[in-house]
């Protein structure tokens, strides 16, 4: 449905909506950064450590990829 005209110009509502969008974009950015780091680590020799539960970038690779 559509919002009433009185709600469309409400600055507080706009601020809440923008804050929610920015928070969501921040979370998606972090998820994408983790995926990129994992893909880079998977394609480099010595870039990963495998465990029973998951695969992680080595501390050395993580340190270098952040810079």
Computed over every residue of the chain, the mean pLDDT equals 76
What residues make up the domain containing 13?
5-66
How many domains, in total, are found in the chain? 1
Say how many C-beta atoms besides its own lie within 10 A of residue 19's C-beta: 10
Residues 11-22 have pLDDT tens digits of 888 999 999 999
More confident residue, 6 or 12: 12
CA 28/CA 64 separation, integer angstroms: 22
Burial 27-50 (b: 16+ CB within 10 A, else e): eeeeeeeeeebbebbeeeeebbee
Vertex 66 angle, CA 65 and 67, to 5°: 95
Query: Biggest alpha carbon distance in the chain?
Result: 60
């Amino acid at each position: 449905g559509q919002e009433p005209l009185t709600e469309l110009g409400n600055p507080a509502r706009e601020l809440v909506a923008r804050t929610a969008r920015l928070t969501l974009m921040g979370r998606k950015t972090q998820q994408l950064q983790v995926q990129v780091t994992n893909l880079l680590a998977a394609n480099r020799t010595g870039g990963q450590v495998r465990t029973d539960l998951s695969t992680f970038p080595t501390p050395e690779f993580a340190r270098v990829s952040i810079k």
